[in-house]
Amino acid sequence: MSSGPYQSWGRIDFGPQIGMRFDQRLSPLPEVETGKSILPYGNGRSYGDSCLNTGGVLIDCRHLDRFISFDPESGVLRCEAGVLLADILDMAVPRGWFLPVSPGTRLVTVGGAIANDVHGKNHHRAGTFGCHVRSFELLRSNGERLLCSPAENTEYFQATIGGLGLTGLVTWAEIQLRPVANAYIDQEVIRFHNLTEFFRLSEDSDEKFEYTVAWIDCLAKDVSLGRGLFMRGNHAPEIARTEPKAPRDGPSIPIAPPLSLVNQLSLRAFNALYYHKQRGDDDNRQVHYRPFFYPLDAIGNWNRIYGPKGFYQYQCVLPMEGGEAGMTEILRKIAAAGMGSFLAVLKIFGDKPSPGLMSFPRSGVTLALDFSNSGGKVLSLLDQLDGITSAHGGAVYPAKDARMSAELFRQAYPRLAEFSKYVDPAFSSSFWRRVEGPASQDSG
C-alpha cells in the first residue's frame, strides 16, 4: 500500500489517496479491506476526480508497461494497459507508424486513453481513440478475464470504452496504428478575428486537413470575441530539404509557487503576445510532431503554475445547431469575468460515432480551458457555463471535471442506465459517487 503520490492533473485537494501497485499480470485484483472500493489509476492526467477514489483504493497500473507484440506490416500493436502513448510513439514512428488518435499530451496510458475514450485534433476524420481499439482484456473483481472486442463480449467492450475505469481493469489492449512517412507535420497557422471566422475556417479545413484545432484569446471582447489562431496540418509526405530539428523538452516547474502565477494581468499580456506572435495572418512550415501535438509536454509539471490550490479545467461540447450562439454566450461570460487560461482550445468534433456508451465526443463544437482555483468565484462562473451547456443540449467532459452536478451528467449521458449494468460492483471513484452514487460524500 502506498499513499502517494496520487493526484489528478488539476492538483485540487480531494483528500489523501491510497494506491496499490498492480503488476502481478496473471493474478486476480488485490484484496482490499472490506467495504473499500477500487479504481484503476493510469498516469493521473485527468484533471479532476474521475481518476481518484478518496476513501477507497487506487490500483496503480503504471507497472503494466510491456509491449506484447507489434506487426510492422499491418501496424497492429498489442501492449499492456500501463504503456504510455509516448512509448508507443518512440517505438512506432521510426518504423513508419503513428497513433490513430492522440490527446494533447503523450503522457497518458493506454488504459487511461480507453477509459476516457480520448479525442484528438483529428476527431472530424478519425473519431475517438476507441474507434481504433481492436480488443482488450478486462479483469473483473470476481477474477474473470473477459476478452472484449466488437465481436466478443460486445457490451463490455462498449461500456469500457469511455467507461471511466468502472467496468474492470484493462490489462492489455490491441490498437490499430496509422501509417506515416516520417515524424513531421506540414502545419499552417492562420489568424482569425472572431468566432464566425473560426467556424468558416473549420468548415473549409476539415475536408483537406487531418488535424485542426484553434487557440482562442478568452479575454477578447466585443468584435474580437473568439479571436485566435487556427492550426491545421497533415502528416508530411516527405521531409523538407532543411529538415526541422526534433525538439528537446524544455525546463520543468520544480515546485508550486505559493500563489497562482495566472492572473488577469499575466493572462492579458500572454494572450495579446500570442495572438500577435506571427507577423502575417498565415504561417506555413514543417514541424516535428512533438511541438504540433504536445506543446505543453515541453514544460514539465506546468500544472504547478496555478499554485497550491490548483485549477479547474472546463471542457464542454455543444451541438452544431445553435453552437455558435452558445459558444458566444460562454465566451462572453468568461471574458466578462476576466478569468480563463493561456491555452483555451476550440475544435469542431465530427460525426463519426464512438463505440463507447459513455463517450464524451459527439458532433458539435468543443471548448477547453483552465481556471485558477479561486474558490467560490470560479465555481459560480463554472455553474453558469454549465447552465449554457445544458440549455444547448451539450455535455461536460468527465476527464476534465471536478464539480459538475449529477443532474447535468445524467442529462448529457443518456445511456447511463444501460452503462450502469456493466459497472463492476467493487469499483467506484470520487467522480462516480458525486454524479451517480446515493450520497455525495466520499465513503469509499
Cell numbers for 356: 463507447
Under the phi-then-psi rule, with left for phi > 0, alpha for psi from -120 to 50, and beta for the rest, what region is 70? beta
**CB of 91 vs ligand FAD, minimal distance in Å:** 17
**CB of 376 vs ligand FAD, minimal distance in Å:** 25
Q: What does the per-residue mask of binding to ligand FAD show for 37-66, with x meaning CB under 6 A?
A: --xxxxxxxx---xx---------x-----
Per rule CB under 6 A, is residue 355 in the interface with ligand FAD? no
Nearer to ligand FAD, 53 or 182 (CB): 53
Handedness of CA 156, 71, 43, 10 (dihedral sign): negative
Runs of H (alpha helix) within 313-400? 323-337, 376-391
At residue 156, φ and ψ (nearest 5 deg) are -70, -35
Site for ligand FAD in 277-296 (CB under 6 A): 296
Q: What is the DSSP string of 115-155?
A: HTT---TTHHHH--GGGGEEEEEEE-TTS-EEEE-SSSSHH
Nearer to ligand FAD, 7 or 234 (CB): 7
**CB of 440 vs ligand FAD, minimal distance in Å:** 19
Cis amide bond preceding 5, omega within 30: yes
Part in contact with ligand FAD (CB under 6 A); list of ranges 35-43, 193-201, 219-227, 414-422 = 35-43
Tracing cell 452503462 back to the chain, one arrives at 419
**CB of 64 vs ligand FAD, minimal distance in Å:** 7
Q: Which residues pair with 209 in a beta bridge?
A: none
The beta-strand segments (E) located in 22-144 are 38-41, 57-60, 67-71, 76-80, 97-98, 133-139
Nearest to 370 by CA among 186, 104, 76: 104
Count of residues binding ligand FAD (CB under 6 A)?
Answer: 32
Site for ligand FAD in 105-134 (CB under 6 A): 105, 108-109, 111-113, 115-116, 118-120
DSSP code of residue 194: S
- Taking the CB of residue 67, how many other CB atoms lie within 10 A of it? 15
Q: Rounded distance, CA 334 to CA 365, Å?
A: 17
Nearer to ligand FAD, 43 or 390 (CB): 43
Nearer to ligand FAD, 39 or 195 (CB): 39
DSSP code of residue 7: -
Nearer to ligand FAD, 231 or 335 (CB): 231
**CB of 111 vs ligand FAD, minimal distance in Å:** 3
**CB of 296 vs ligand FAD, minimal distance in Å:** 5
Site for ligand FAD in 390-429 (CB under 6 A): 399
Site for ligand FAD in 134-193 (CB under 6 A): 164-165, 169-170
Nearer to ligand FAD, 225 or 317 (CB): 317
Binding site for ligand FAD (CB under 6 A): 9, 39-46, 50-51, 61, 81, 103-105, 108-109, 111-113, 115-116, 118-120, 164-165, 169-170, 296, 399
